[in-house]
């Protein structure tokens, strides 16, 4: 396919995306009334928009969104760093994997929602329980991807490097690090969206800050439009987080064929 054809395809895809969005908004606006669905069950899009403007003015919507975004970023970064470190250590040390993998697996199997009340009991109604839940959720997919990448590194390449008296750092920098990057970014994509889930779970359990708090408040007031606004804001945060990872991936992996690191 020629380069001249690619912009046309991109424009067509964008037009199709916008068209689907417009159809969805139109259906959301008029179908509930046509189907006689009460507004307190499914408010029309115009009602949700009015509630969004009201929350901007009266409920400090952007302040709560900023708190949630900060918790997502911190939880995502710390969970990713922990996953990278543990995944690498387990990858280069089979003995460490045998010793630690049962505990890591048990931690992953345990429902994260169950940890949120415990963290609140320990740390109070602060941002720390929310960040800890996000760390727990982000950690595992990043760790597994890094571990798998290290285990699939060609041992002949490592042996060849050692035959030339390469140090451990040189083996990591020239062989292991490049081989780990594509799987790492795959794990980061998953972790970026899971971080939002972890933070919201923590905010739903307790606290008076963040979009999770507004979600609980709207549910308690029976304000369905407020709940929809909060869900949309959480979705926007997740999309931005995912997009940031994809953007960083394209910048870091620019040397690879596009098909190997194009966003799913």
Band (pLDDT 50/70/90 cuts) for residue 261 is very low
pLDDT in tens, 228-249: 999 999 999 999 999 999 999 9
pLDDT in tens, 162-214: 887 778 788 888 888 888 888 899 999 999 999 999 999 888 887 788 899 99
Average of per-residue pLDDT values in the chain: 85
Q: Report d(CA 31, CA 11) in Å as an integer.
A: 29
pLDDT in tens, 126-168: 888 899 999 999 999 999 999 888 888 877 787 888 887 778 7
The CATH code of the domain at 43-260 is: 1.10.3720.10
Segments making up each domain of the chain, as ranges: 1-37, 43-260
Give the highest mean pLDDT range of 25-34, 119-128, 229-238: 229-238
Main-chain dihedrals φ then ψ at residue 41, nearest 5 degrees: -95, -50
């Amino acid at each position: 396919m020629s380069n001249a054809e690619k912009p046309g395809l991109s424009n067509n895809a964008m037009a199709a995306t916008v068209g689907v969005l417009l159809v969805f908004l139109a259906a959301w606006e008029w179908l509930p009334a046509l189907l006689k669905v009460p507004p307190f069950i499914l408010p029309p899009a115009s009602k949700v928009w009015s509630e969004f403007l009201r929350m901007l003015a009266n409920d400090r919507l952007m302040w709560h969104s900023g708190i949630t975004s900060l918790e997502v970023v911190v939880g995502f970064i710390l969970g990713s760093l922990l996953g990278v470190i543990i995944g690498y250590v387990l990858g280069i040390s089979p003995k460490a994997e045998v010793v630690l993998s049962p505990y890591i697996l048990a931690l992953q199997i345990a429902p994260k929602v169950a940890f949120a009340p415990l963290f609140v009991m320990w740390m109070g109604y602060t941002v720390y329980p929310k960040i800890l839940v996000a760390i727990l959720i982000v950690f595992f997919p990043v760790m597994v991807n890094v571990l798998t990448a290290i285990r699939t590194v060609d041992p002949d390449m490592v042996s060849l490097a050692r035959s030339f008296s390469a140090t451990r750092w040189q083996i990591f920098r020239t062989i292991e690090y490049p081989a780990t990057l594509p799987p790492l970014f795959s794990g980061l994509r998953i972790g970026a969206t899971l971080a939002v889930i972890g933070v919201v779970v923590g905010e739903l359990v307790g606290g008076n800050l963040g979009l999770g708090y507004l979600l609980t408040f709207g549910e308690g007031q029976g304000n369905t439009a407020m709940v929809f606004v909060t869900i949309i804001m959480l979705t926007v945060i997740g999309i931005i987080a995912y997009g940031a990872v994809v953007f960083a991936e394209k910048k870091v992996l620019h040397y690879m064929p596009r098909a190997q690191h194009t966003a799913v």
